[in-house]
Amino acid sequence: MKRPAPADTESLENVVQVLPLGAGQEVGRSCIIVRYGGKTVMLDCGVHPGFYGLASLPFFDEVDLSEVDVMLVTHFHLDHCAAVPYVTGHTPFRGRVLMTHATKAIVHTLLKDFVKVSRGGGSGEGLYTERDLEAAIEHTEVVDFHQTVDVDGVRVTAYRAGHVLGAAMFQVEIGGMRLLYTGDYSRIPDRHMPPADLPEQRPHIVIVESTYGVSRHLPREEREQRFVERIHTAVARGGRVLLPVVALGRAQELLLILEEYWERHPELQGVPIYQASGLARRAMGVYQAYIEMMNDDIKAAFTVANPFNFRHISHLKSAAQFDDVGPCVVMATPSMLQSGVSRELFEAWCEDPRNCVVIADFAVQGTLAREILGNPAEVMTRNGVKVPLRMQVDAISFSAHADFPQTSEFLDALQPPHVVLVHGEATEMGRLKKALEQHAAALGIPRTLYMPKVTQPVLIEHRAERTAKVVGRLGEKAAPQGAAVRGLLVQGRGGARSLLHHDDLPRFTKLHPGRVVQRQALALHRPFSEVRLALEMMFEGTQGAGDLGRVDAVGQTGGGAAAAQMLRIGEAVTLTYHPPATSSGGSGGHAVLEWCGGSDADMVVDAVVAVVLGAAGAPPGLEGAEAARRKALAAGNSEGVEAAELGILTALLGAQFGPARVDADQGLVFVEVHGQHVAINAKSGKVQCADANLRGRVEKALGRMHAALMPCDVSDLG
């Protein structure tokens, strides 16, 4: 199957990708990949009931499983969970695996049988071994209903799905995007399961099953009445009734119905009812342990007696030990009649018109159960022999999947703008899509529906709404409606965001604010009084802080005749004036600016630097050298031009790096910076210095100076 086109769309920001690796326009191997915000989630991991071995798996080679952060398993049916040990044991998957307590308990029991069956009773190789299964169970974590778990930025909340014991819907939240995956769900309570929950938060995307398309289930009472009447009629005429079922889930529902009916009809109590699944018998303890997950009727019944202790039902170990005489009812697996006890009994009974088979679950396309619903005249046995089909075939659905009214009402209540249909056959899914679109249009509900095929990605644009709780001193006063609130936005590990004042960081978080103090020195060539006057005229609120005594370059105060002075410019910047070491009539020295790094303070400093440089005057000797250069240029004296430019460079280098001296004969300028000697060749531009960093600084400054000395071609200006 062709790989979807990729990487460019996958890397788009604000796009959710939903990619079915299975269950896309098919029922089986449910496995949906969701990507958003750099996170990858796998929803379910099952096999296809109509295929065997590797062919039954989802299309795992379409994705890099090492990128999956978490796998969420909704329930214990094979088409949703049976590939989990394969993924954890035979692929690069290293993510977390989550399911409910009851699901984990039954998955362990169920997949032990699956390993044996897939090996053909001990011969041959299956998809994985029991050791793989045990490792997968050890790797699996459990989650309670309505519990939220954070998986490295992926918030997962489990809700009741109502389908079978422990079945969950999962809400996935990534960066404010909420997606609800229903798995198999039912909004109608039955004899032992409560209905699916309705999540409180509105999801942006719902991935919903579409098993029954636009079909409508019969009311529960009517279905149960048809079911028991069909069975009663068959056994009354001496026939045998086969009920092919999934061992766990619908089997327990039907057993409760039959037990109650047999209890009310003494004339039937001589007709045996057999449960032919050892798995169902072993799992009964799990059902009894998780009574609290069932509905109120079961909880109430359990206070009197265990409703799963059946008086009229016996467990059948195997078809070979079955004494096939007289009327009876046998509940056997698998539900699709593909193999096992249900297939053996079907082939043994299908030619007798007194017998009956009732398909009580959804019949998957490509299986014998689906084939016989078409009323064929004959069927093919496992030995390749065609035999007549004379037994009565009936379909009375007890499948706990949502029908059209349930799905439509569920979506109306949630109001998601995007709905992705999965777990349904293409025809029924198409009908459901059209019906839901028409329904939404009639109600004026904006909604887009998608029905992707397997490996066909759905791309949904989503721009997350970010909300934050204002706390601390920012929250003490209510801001007017629509007013901006400034503060620090902090997101916790659980995804919750808070807006707070930076001074409140230690109070509400484990963070502590720090300060980055910056300093810059500027050489002055005019009296500081002129610089101070310029600053006071430019910046309102410039204040003197008095004499500081002698202050060195790192701000330490000491004695001395020449006192440093400090100015405070607003709340952001401090300027400290350092007079020259020797008296020079009030001119010279340098100013040191100090401020805490930040956008506001940096902007103020830029303005202060511009004012200081404008008021500080030209470096000594620069004006005379520039006048000599102009005179030499006018006279065409090239030697005079070179000598003047050497003087200009000396003045500029001295202003930037400190006192400079010139060797005119050699064409060299010497400066000393923090004890490091630097020699500059004015003609070649070569700089000699032992410190590589300082040499680089001087070379860059020299380049700018040479650029400033280049003549301008007026013709280039237009």
Classify residue 87: in a domain, yes or no: yes
With CA atoms as reference, report the closest residue to 103 among 151, 45, 18. Answer: 45
Q: Do residues 644 and 668 share a domain?
A: yes
CA gap 691, 657 in Å, rounded: 14
| Cross-strand partners of 590 | 523, 578
Pairing of strands 70-72, 39-43: parallel
Classify residue 445: in a domain, yes or no: yes
Last residue of a domain, one of 565, 589, 616: 616
Whole-number average pLDDT of the chain: 85
Classify residue 6: in a domain, yes or no: no
pLDDT at 464: 67
Last residue of a domain, one of 346, 368, 395: 395
Residue 576 has pLDDT above 80, yes or no: yes
Residue 585 has pLDDT above 60, yes or no: no
Highest mean pLDDT among 207-211, 303-307, 368-372, 691-695: 207-211
**Which DSSP letter does residue 563 get?**
P
More confident residue, 35 or 603: 35
Active site residue 401: yes
Close Cβ partners of 30 (under 8 Å, ≥ 6 residues apart):
22, 23, 43, 44, 45, 46, 58, 74, 79, 80, 183, 422, 423
Q: Do residues 532 and 443 share a domain?
A: no
Classify residue 28: in a domain, yes or no: yes
Q: What would the mean pLDDT of 306-314 be, rounded to a whole number?
A: 83
Tokens found for residue 56 = 């039954």
More confident residue, 464 or 141: 141
Cα angle 81, 87, 92 (rounded to 5 degrees) comes to 155
How would residue 121 be classed by pLDDT, with cut points 50, 70 and 90?
very low
Lowest mean pLDDT among 291-295, 414-418, 712-716: 712-716
What digits encode the pLDDT tens for the residues 334-372? 888 888 889 999 999 999 999 999 998 888 888 899 999
More confident residue, 143 or 488: 143
Q: How many CB atoms lie within 10 A of CB 495?
A: 15
pLDDT at 714: 40
CA gap 626, 620 in Å, rounded: 11
Residues of the domain holding 321: 220-395
CA gap 254, 361 in Å, rounded: 11
Q: Do residues 192 and 157 share a domain?
A: yes
Last residue of a domain, one of 581, 598, 616: 616
Q: Do residues 539 and 610 share a domain?
A: yes
Classify residue 717: in a domain, yes or no: no
* Torsion-angle region of 415 (φ positive above 0: left; ψ -120 to 50: alpha; else: beta): left
pLDDT at 708: 66
Classify residue 687: in a domain, yes or no: yes
Q: Do residues 705 and 610 share a domain?
A: no
Residue 418 is part of a domain; what is its CATH number? 3.60.15.10
Classify residue 481: in a domain, yes or no: no
pLDDT at 514: 78
Q: Do residues 253 and 133 share a domain?
A: no
pLDDT at 504: 86
Q: Do residues 50 and 165 share a domain?
A: yes
Q: Do residues 36 and 167 share a domain?
A: yes
pLDDT at 294: 80
Q: Do residues 597 and 674 share a domain?
A: no
Quick one: three-class SS letters along 535-558?
A: HHHHCCCEEEEEEEEEECCCCCEE
How would residue 14 be classed by pLDDT, with cut points 50, 70 and 90?
confident
Residue 675 has pLDDT above 90, yes or no: no
Q: Do residues 535 and 608 share a domain?
A: yes
Classify residue 718: in a domain, yes or no: no
Residue 555 has pLDDT above 50, yes or no: no
Could you give the percent of the chain with pLDDT greater than 70? 90
How would residue 545 be classed by pLDDT, with cut points 50, 70 and 90?
low
Which residue among the candidates 77, 192, 401, 418 is catalytic per the annotation? 401
Cα angle 364, 368, 373 (rounded to 5 degrees) comes to 80
Q: What would the mean pLDDT of 277-301 be, rounded to a whole number?
A: 76
Residue 540 is part of a domain; what is its CATH number? 3.30.310
Residue 713 has pLDDT above 60, yes or no: no
Q: Do residues 271 and 382 share a domain?
A: yes
CA gap 366, 338 in Å, rounded: 10
Could you give the percent of the chain with pLDDT greater than 90? 42
CB 234 within 8 A of CB 392: yes
pLDDT at 547: 55
Domain count of the chain? 5
Q: Do residues 88 and 226 share a domain?
A: no
More confident residue, 702 or 446: 446
What digits encode the pLDDT tens for the residues 185-231? 999 988 888 999 999 999 999 999 999 999 998 888 898 999 999 99
